A and B are shown apart, each in its own frame.
Chain A
Amino acid sequence: MHKLIAILLSATVLLIGCQPADPVKSASPELQRQYNAAFQDMLNKPGDLAVALKYANVANQAGDLEGAISTYEGMLLIDSNLPRVRLELGILYYRLKSYEVSRTYLETALQSPTLPADVRKPAEQLLLKMPKQSKRST
């Protein structure tokens, strides 16, 4: 019995450690419906920022972090000086363990001449938590 529990625990740890091939397929049917609807809405109204953000939020909830990232990356094409968007990207890339990119976005957010106070604090907080191997050597 103990052996079985150990195997199950090991399997659980492995499953948690692995990124699912397509996390959206593991989402609830209702969330999948919202995700698909938000995506189609975005394709039909590509210039509507509110629609794009709704998709980013639903994608985030459904585990499609790349979908959320792509929406925010598109916003930086409109203007690169969007520290709040850079913070969001920093958080999303951190969740993906892509720490170098995360740090780049957080640092550029902090360099913004129009940095809001409510962006500075979480950006600094996350930078402090960056894994050691990812910290800049120069």
Chain B
Amino acid sequence: MSKSNVVVLPLLRALLVGAAVLGLFSTAQAQSRIGVTQATENNPMGKPPGGVDRVLRVGTDVQANEAITTTSEDRAHLVFLDGTTLTIGPSSSLTIDKFVYDPTTQKGELAVNASKGVFRLIGGRISKTAAITVTTPSSTMGIRGGIMVFGVQVSATTSIFIYGNSMTVTANGVTQTVTVPGLQVSTNAGGTPGTPTVVVQGSLSAALGNLAGNSSAAAATLVAINTLVADSVSNPVTLQALIQAIVTANAAQTLTTTTTTLTTNLNVITVVENPNQSKNSPN
């Protein structure tokens, strides 16, 4: 073996090993991407597992087990690979505990842990077949195929069901299930979920207000958005017709659901677990 080969072969080997390591690293990076930051206000922070704190900017990938925090001036809007979106309001803290998604079957699992703040979760493909789970200091919530707004404090959690198949709230062996939009469930730390009640308009407006940004965008940005939205939607004449059609369609369906809507308690199911039943038992 020539002297040059003695030098070149280890070098080549080192390069190949390095390339393989880099390849594995980038694959791991690609695999750990579970979503992307679509909109932000100010400087929401994200911390991937084993990583360092970073500001979430528009386009920043969101990774599995990432912890996200906001100050009183920050907000973030994340889109997951299954189409689920999560809006994180000010003064919030949340960790994405689990995200598994198979684009072929369009099934998977999403679980988050929220310790404080206000949030909106809009379920994507995963929520069509399985409940998305949200754990807070005082309760565990599940949302199927829909939209939920929730506020979390150390002392209590309030969950508002906006739309979908169902929202469950569980604490201390008691589960409340809500299927009617516009109902909320409050749970005090250490207690059980309260009976669902009609959402108080003021608290709904406040929650939605917390999840929208301030009026701080540049004038040019606003003009661009307004123009894009106006162009993409429809002209005022067809918009009027569209609204009339929507109202008529909803009214036709309301005929069969008015009673259900008015007697909301019929749609509230309280389940008390059997205290004698083992938690490990499938039955």
A residues adjacent to B (C-beta < 8 A)? 13, 16-17, 19, 21-22, 39, 42-43, 46-47, 49-50, 52-54, 56-57, 64, 66-67, 69-70, 73-82, 84-85, 88, 91, 93-101, 104-105, 108, 114, 116, 118, 121-122, 125-126, 129, 131, 133-134, 136, 138
Q: Are A96 and B181 interface neighbours, CB within 8 A?
A: yes
Chain A residue at minimum C-beta to C-beta distance from B147:
A66
Report Cα–Cα, A88/B41, bound state, in Å.
22
- The residue among B120, B229, B253 with the most chain A CB atoms within 10 A of its own CB is B229
Chain A residue at minimum C-beta to C-beta distance from B76:
A77
Number of chain B interface residues as a range: 35 or more
A95-B246 CB under 8 A given contacts A70-B79, A78-B213: yes
Report Cα–Cα, A61/B239, bound state, in Å.
15
A46-B58 CB under 8 A given contacts A70-B122, A77-B213: yes
Report Cα–Cα, A63/B123, bound state, in Å.
14
User: Contact check: which of A82, A100, A108 meets B181 at CB < 8 Å?
Assistant: A100
Q: Are A100 and B182 interface neighbours, CB within 8 A?
A: yes
Q: Are B79 and A126 interface neighbours, CB within 8 A?
A: no
Query: A-side binding surface: helix, strand, loop or mixed?
Result: helix
Report Cα–Cα, A76/B224, bound state, in Å.
14
B residues adjacent to A (C-beta < 8 A)? 36-41, 58-59, 75-77, 79, 81, 83, 85, 87, 106, 120, 122-125, 128-129, 145-147, 162-163, 165, 181-182, 199, 201, 204-205, 208-209, 211-217, 221-222, 224-226, 228-230, 232-233, 236, 239-240, 242-243, 246-247, 249-250, 253-254, 256-258, 261-262
